[in-house]
Chain A
Amino acid sequence: MMAGIAVSTNINSDNAEFLCHADETLLDVLRDRLGLMGAKEGCGTGDCGACSIILDDRLVCSCLVLGAEAEGGRIETVEGMAQGDQLHPLQQKFLEHAALQCGICTPGFLIAAKDLLAKNPDPTEEEIRFGLAGNLCRCTGYDKIVRAVQDAAGVMRGADHEF
């Protein structure tokens, strides 16, 4: 059998190399080969957003990217959001607003919200709802998530460093 395709990437600011099969998704590589279990498989067809990651500054569903396609790519996952024990403001506000229940969608929402705020630091409620429309949550009804993102956006705008 084939040994696999050798892929070099950068994940959460660390260089990462892995071998994968041609038909293996980046989501499967992250979870099964690299032990990064934050991104979740919900639908596996790009509809739910639970597997959201940032690849080369673009929010993508890692279930719709092959591991091999990540060659030379820069990947950001939920595991890279907290700095040691210091939670990212989005994570902190998700906790404070109880913006999660079962938690399956949460890593995807956090990454999608991070991408949204990087491009639009002061979004309206409508912009948040449209920006997060690719992420499904069956527990919260979304209101708590939207409020957490608004609150975190305020904290991040007032901070003296970038998150």
Chain B
Amino acid sequence: MRYIRPSSIEDAVGLLAEASGKAAVLAGGSDLLVRMKGGFIEPELIIDIKAIDALRHITESEDGFVIGAAVPCAVLGENAALRRAWPGVVEGANLIGSKQVQGRCTIVGNLCNASPAADSVPALLAAGAKARIRGPAGSRTIAVEMVPVGPGKTSLAPGEIIEAILLDKRQPRSGDAYQRFTPRTEMDIAVVSAAVKLTLDDQGVVQSARVALGAAAPTVLLVEEAAEILTGSRVDDKTLDRLAAVCSGACRPIDDKRGTVEFRRKVAGVLAKRVALAAYQRAGQK
């Protein structure tokens, strides 16, 4: 096995594209090293992207935020502007693993690991985040929900690397939130999870919404029907009950040691209600 630490994204893409055997991109390593240790993956080449300066920063501009692929999740939580603009995204990212893991793990890694239970991904979907991809054919930007296609599988072409996650500037009267259900408060994987992002008009009526569910299907799920129910409402009890029913219905979960299909369906609805209310409060309504 070889280890290379390129200093530019062009070099990283070149190495990845030209690799003759299995090559792996290393950012935080909290998934990759575990999979290597377990013998699930034996890369011939490891491309460590942490020396690429452009990937190591969160930059804020007129358009919003660019979060580099090598930024550890702990740094998201330490960024006051990001916390203010996208509290749901930050709370998802900061739920991954322990403090030790927080210092290494990245949201791009979480996305590319393509677990349906990934804690940072539902809030990114709800936020309408985009992934900026670099590859041998150049650069392209796609919606985050287009990245995972199944457990452990992404739509990335050979030689492609996600270099950053893009988040829009926070719109006025907007809020987002993420919650998960786990038997323990720390160091656990979501049994089921939900994220909601709302934008209100100046009367406090929901103008637009996005709803995402985690650990409820083979990929994190964007539930458009649930967003339609919230739109035009004031997030009242009746709306919340309909939201819960639609979210429960949209689930296609598995039965496993963490939870049954029935339990996941029920809790997906409960969490959708709670995060919709939390997002509504953050958008400026009680």
B274 to chain A, nearest CB (A): 21
Q: Is B103 on the interface with A (CB-CB < 8 A)?
A: yes
B3 touches A134 (CB 8 A): no
Distance, CA A23 to CA B36, complexed state (A) = 9
- Note all chain A residues with C-beta closer than 8 A to B50: 69
A63 touches B1 (CB 8 A): no
Distance, CA A62 to CA B186, complexed state (A) = 20
Q: Is B242 on the interface with A (CB-CB < 8 A)?
A: no
Q: Is B76 on the interface with A (CB-CB < 8 A)?
A: no
- Note all chain B residues with C-beta closer than 8 A to A130: 186
Task: Please tell me which one of the listed residues A25, A47, A59 contacts residue B33 in the complex, with CB atoms under 8 A apart.
Answer: A25
- Note all chain A residues with C-beta closer than 8 A to B34: 45-46, 64
B6 to chain A, nearest CB (A): 13
A45 touches B29 (CB 8 A): no
Distance, CA A134 to CA B98, complexed state (A) = 5
Closest B residue to A23 by beta carbon equals: B1
Contact A112 to B100, CB < 8 A, known contacts A69-B48, A133-B186 = yes
- Note all chain B residues with C-beta closer than 8 A to A112: 99-100
For window 181-202 of B, CB contacts with A under 8 Å fall at 185-187
- Note all chain A residues with C-beta closer than 8 A to B185: 133
A65 touches B29 (CB 8 A): yes
Choose among B5, B37, B48, B50 the residue with the greatest number of A CB atoms under 10 Å from its CB: B37
B99 touches A64 (CB 8 A): no
B3 touches A45 (CB 8 A): no
B46 touches A134 (CB 8 A): no
A113-145 Cβ-contact flags toward B at 8 Å (1 or 0): 001000000000000001101110000000000
Distance, CA A52 to CA B104, complexed state (A) = 12
Q: DSSP class of A's interface residues: helix, strand, loop or mixed?
A: mixed
Distance, CA A85 to CA B278, complexed state (A) = 53
Distance, CA A25 to CA B38, complexed state (A) = 14
Task: Please tell me which one of the listed residues B3, B30, B46 contacts residue A46 in the complex, with CB atoms under 8 A apart.
Answer: B30
For window 2-42 of B, CB contacts with A under 8 Å fall at 2-3, 5, 26, 28-30, 33-34, 36-38
B100 touches A61 (CB 8 A): yes
- Note all chain B residues with C-beta closer than 8 A to A65: 29, 33, 104
B100 touches A49 (CB 8 A): yes
B79-106 Cβ-contact flags toward A at 8 Å (1 or 0): 0000000000000000001111101100
Distance, CA A68 to CA B98, complexed state (A) = 23
B26 to chain A, nearest CB (A): 8
- Note all chain A residues with C-beta closer than 8 A to B26: 66, 69
A142 to chain B, nearest CB (A): 12
- Note all chain A residues with C-beta closer than 8 A to B68: none
Closest B residue to A25 by beta carbon equals: B33
Contact A46 to B98, CB < 8 A, known contacts A66-B29, A134-B187 = yes
> Could you write out 28 A-B pairs with CB less than 8 Å apart?
A5-B3, A22-B1, A22-B3, A22-B46, A23-B1, A23-B36, A46-B97, A46-B98, A46-B100, A47-B187, A49-B100, A55-B103, A60-B103, A60-B104, A61-B101, A63-B37, A64-B34, A65-B33, A66-B29, A66-B48, A69-B5, A69-B50, A71-B5, A112-B100, A130-B186, A133-B99, A134-B99, A135-B98
**What 3 A-B pairs come out closest when comparing CB atoms?**
A134-B98, A58-B103, A22-B3
A residues at B contact (CB < 8 Å): 5, 21-23, 25, 44-47, 49, 52, 55, 58-61, 63-66, 68-69, 71, 112, 115, 130-131, 133-135
